[in-house]
Structure formats: C-alpha cells, structure tokens
Structure 1
Amino acid sequence: MSTASFGDSASGAGCLDITYRLYQDDDSKLEQVTAPADTLAHDPSAPAWGLALAPGLPAAQRSAALAELFCLPTDEPLPAGAAEEGAPLQPRFSGVLLMTAASVRSSSVAPIGVPGDQPGAQRNIGGGEWGRYAPRDTGKPGTLERRIFLQENGRDISPWHDIPLRNSDGTINMVCEIPKDTTAKLEVATGEEGTPIKQDVKKGKPRFYHEPIPWNYGMLPQTWEDPQHCDAALGNLTGDNDPVDVVELSGVQLAAGSVHRVRALGAFAMIDEGELDWKVLCVRADLPLAERLHDIADIERELPGELERVMIWFRDYKIPDGKPPNAFGYGGAPLGASLAGRVISDTHALYQDLVSGARANDEALFLT
C-alpha cells in the first residue's frame, strides 16, 4: 500500500482537501466525506471512492494533485479525462484509513451532489478528542456487517462505557454516530460486546433516513434512558433504553466514531412511539461559534430559526415510513441549558445504577 501525499500543492496553498463519495456495488450513493489527501493511502483491494476537484482549480495544481492521488510516476499520464475540470473520478482508497484522516484544513473542494448540502458548508472528519480516541472501521459501509469500534492507545474501548461523560473544563463528551448531511442510520449497539457503532436495521435491511440529517447526531457516553424509570414531569413516560441523543449545531461535518467536547445548550423532550427520547442540543466547544452559544436564547440569536428546524425535522422524519409525527413534551418548547444539564445528570445517574448492579440488567445490555 503506497501513500498518496499531496504535501504543498502547486499553488502553495497547503494540503488539498478531497471530497469522496462512497458507492455500493449497485452504484447507490451512501455517504460523502471530505479529508486532506495526505492522510489517505492507495489500496487496490478497497472499495471505490468517487472524487471531484473543485471547479476553478488551476490546471497545474489540479494535474499535480491527481497525479499524486493516483500514485503515478511523474512521467506517466493521468487517466483519460482525469484532469478535466469537475471530472468525476473513482480511485480506490482504504475506508479504514479514510476514517482516521485529520481535520479539514482548506476549502479547495466543492461538495458533489449530496442532497441538503449547503453551499460553502465546512466539513471536518476529525477534531475534538481525535488525538486521544480513534475509530476502527470494519466491514463495508451500508451493510449490516459494518462496525465502527473506538480505540484508545491502540486498544478497543466502548464508546458507551469507556469515554467519560464530563471533562474538567465543564464540557461534556459527544460520540458522533451520524455525520451531518448523511443518511445511514448509525447507532451504538448497546447489546453487543464492546458496544460498537453499527447501522440500524429495518425489515432485515440497513436503515437509512429518507433525507440527509442536517446536523451531526450522536450520543452522550455513560448516560441511559431507563425504560423502567418514570418521568413524573412528563406524564410518567419511560426512557427508550438508549444513551441520551445529542444534536450538534456547528454546521461542521464530523465523522462517525469521532469524539468531541461539546457544550449543552438545551434539550427537546421528544416522545417517540410512547417513549421519552431526549434530544440534547449542543455545539462543539473548540469552535468560535461556541463562544457565542451558552443557552437556548443564544441559538435563536446566532442561528435564527434553527430551533424550529430541529423540532420539525425530528417530528416528521418517520412520516415517509407511514408512521405518525413524533410528539414533544412541554408543548414542543425546548428546555434551556440548566434543565438540559439536569437531564444529563439524571440519565448519568440511571446509567450508574445500571452498571453498578443497583438496577438489574433486565434488557441484557453489554456492561463489561
């Protein structure tokens, strides 16, 4: 396997970013990610990744980038049509190596046709706690066999049990399950050994949203919505037997399996088929936007209409499956940061009761 490193590009702009589309054997598009090319390696046995360089890239820079991408000697011509502006390409890359790529460092590449993309949207597949935790992606994306394990110092760990909920700086940790602008419904498998991330199943097949989710979506480690615990403030609704869900609002795409420090801003009390399914709203703490977001009112000021968009999306996303809209407690109004913090503390306590044995593991979840 040979490394395809762009290094300093012909324009002197630094490492190029490449936008890839992963295709299944039937050419159905599954997901799109962006990464610096110098983190990738050429692997003829790996799945195909579609590629397109940004329009307007200088010809010399485009040709040099493509030559390194395909690991070609300097005297070997590019594949036919490869240097044409906006040409779609399908070199082959290792998906595992792609998932360990570092943060996006420039905006040299334009998004290529994923529904719901916003022009100029930032993308990132690392960041946060990336240096400490790294995903180990196994199996083919879009299949029931795929698992994303988390590693620390080269050792597999559980994203649910082995990552702390809180940090010393007052932030909390989020594990990204579903990257922004993707459709594969990924989730932590709480009943499997090691609790890896896997794709949800619907009628025996991998589950996909009917449209890309507009935000990064994930879970809070060491939390649990107990299906035997009644919430008196919400008509004695019980939990959905999962870790608490988080919706990350920065607009910067994260990677499935990446871990990030976030600040909780508020929460929606969603009711899904009679179960309480909290949606905690958060923002990555290492981004400038986080300096301006501390509570619900800040979201409305800095991101006008975002709260309503979140509520409507989660209310309606199951309608195409023939199911009714989801309901919300508190009249659909989001709770503020203080009450969201209480939700997080309460579900952390329920998790601790579960793993300590104070509450019987009747659901046969993986705890050791």
Structure 2
Amino acid sequence: EGMGTTVTALYWLGARVAVVHVGDSRAYLLRDGELSQLTHDHTYVQTLVDAGRISEEEAATHPRRSLLMRALDGVNPVEADLSVREARAGDRYLLCSDGLSGVLSTEEIGILLAEGEPTGCVTRLVDRALEYGAPDNVTVVVADVIDYDLDIADSTILPVVVGAAGELRVRERLPHVEFPLDAQPDPENVAIARERAVAATPESALKVRKREVRRRRWVQWTLSILVILAALAAGIFTGRAWLQHQWYVSVYGNPGTGTVAVYNGIPGSALGFSLSRVITDSHVAVGTLPLFDQELVSKGIPAADENDAARITNELAQRARECQAEVPAAGCPGTPN
C-alpha cells in the first residue's frame, strides 16, 4: 500500500517503434548524432516548468523533484503516454531511470551515448552517474536499430534480455511468453547458462538461429492449419444446420416417370455430395398432374417446413385425382388448351 512504480518501454512494430511512458523515467533517441528526449516527465516540478514558474536548472535541485503525478500502483487506473515513430537503422534508443537523468545533463548523456557499442555505453553511463553521486538507483537500457530479417538466418547478433525478464525463475512462471534466445547467460541455471554461452559464439549462433526460425515457422504453419480446419469445421456445421431447415417438393426419379416427393435440403450438390435427401415419396406420378403443376414440380416448389411440404403434396395429389375424373379439369394431360 502506498507503493508505485514508473514504466518506460519500447515495442517494435516492424518498421516502427512505439514508446509507452508513465512516471519520471525517460526515453531518448540518438539519431544522426542528435539526442532528443521522447518522453515527458510526470512530476510536480515538470508541471512548474511547463507553467513557466521555474527553469530546468531550478527543477534539478527542487526539494519536491521526486514527487510523481502519475505512477502505476496496481489499484488506480492511469493514462500512459503513447507515441509511435519510424525506426531507422542506426538509431540508438536509451531508456533510463531518474538516477541517470537526474545527475547527468542532456549534453553529457548525448556524448556518452554516441560512443561505442551498447554494452560499453551502458557501463559508461552508469559509472558516470555513480561518480556524480546518484542518490537513486541507476537503470540504463541501450538498444540499437539494425537491419535484420529472420528469413535471412545469417546473423550472429543475438538480443540480450536484461532485468527480471532475464531471470530463469521469472520465465518459468510465464510459460506462454516466447522469450528470445538471448546472449546473456543465466547464472541461476548452469545447464542453460552453458547452452546460451555456446549459442552466443559466432560458430554456433547461426545454427541456433536457424533452428529457432524453423521452430517458429513450424508453430506458425501449425496454428494456421488449425485455424483453417476450425473454420472449415464451423462452416460445415453451420451449413448442415441450415440445410436441415430447408424443405421443398420436387420429382423423385426421372422427370417423365417420376413421382412427387418431399425433400429436406436444397436442390443440387457440392463436391459430389447431394445437398438434399428424400423424406417422403407420395407415389403420385408427376405425369398425372396438370401441366402447369408438372412444370412447378420439375423446378422444385419451396416449402416453409416439413408440414408445409406435406400440405403442398396433398394439394398436388388432389389435383392429380381431379385429372383422373371422367371429366378432367382444364389443364390436365389430354385436355384441350
């Protein structure tokens, strides 16, 4: 109770990168030698700066500079800042806590961030903040944007998972999260540490990456096939249920010698399978019906349900009997038009 945390995170979206932010940790972007701050501090002193009541220099030494206006406490909802921007090869992103940004100037951060590879850059930033007597924890993450395609499995560059996500006990509690194959050994498990250490060597990283690519493709193909099969099964089930509620009256047998019958389904076939079946054969010869009714039956007479189909059949049977009378009704076979 009374506790809270800040969060500043990056999420890669193909050719774009999203930044989500709550609190006073910061995200920076170093592009073409120019450093820009991507986040806005959610602090009391930042509101004073925004209002023009104090300067940036005064904010750095203000007694209430650590007072947060937004934080994650797990109880109250909080609105996070979200931005999306283009990711370019050569960009370098920095995520840091106020233990770094609170003691180093933007200019000094930019100079240190521009030197060397990410791991050495992190070490220099943390060491410099500690030299300046950082009063809070100093958390630093540096990420470079590189040209990389999983379909081109020839890269020996492996990501590094840091913080709590890099701990084995945390990963075991999240079995459905697919963590990347990272180059940083986990000291909590010797076997896994050895496997990752071997995987991090240039000679074997390619084999491990190809195996990971094949496994992910196999999972993707399997899921795609299962989704297609599920959709087909759902379509067949829905179609069958719909067909069971369709009724019509038509010819059973050859058009010239067939009889009037009740069908469940619809006329026609699909993939060689009939879409209807005979439910009742009235044994009323179609040829004994009036010519107009013969034409209707040959085309199929739709019915609302089975009872309606039975009613239509009974009416047709009655008209067939009228045509067999001594004086057939008009329109019966053999009578003048």
TM over 0.5: no
Which structure is larger by alpha-carbon Rg, 1 or 2? 2
Which structure has greater helix proportion? 2
- Relative to the length of structure 1, the TM-score reads 0.21
User: Greater relative contact order: 1 or 2 (C-alpha under 8 angstroms, separation 6 or more)?
Assistant: 1
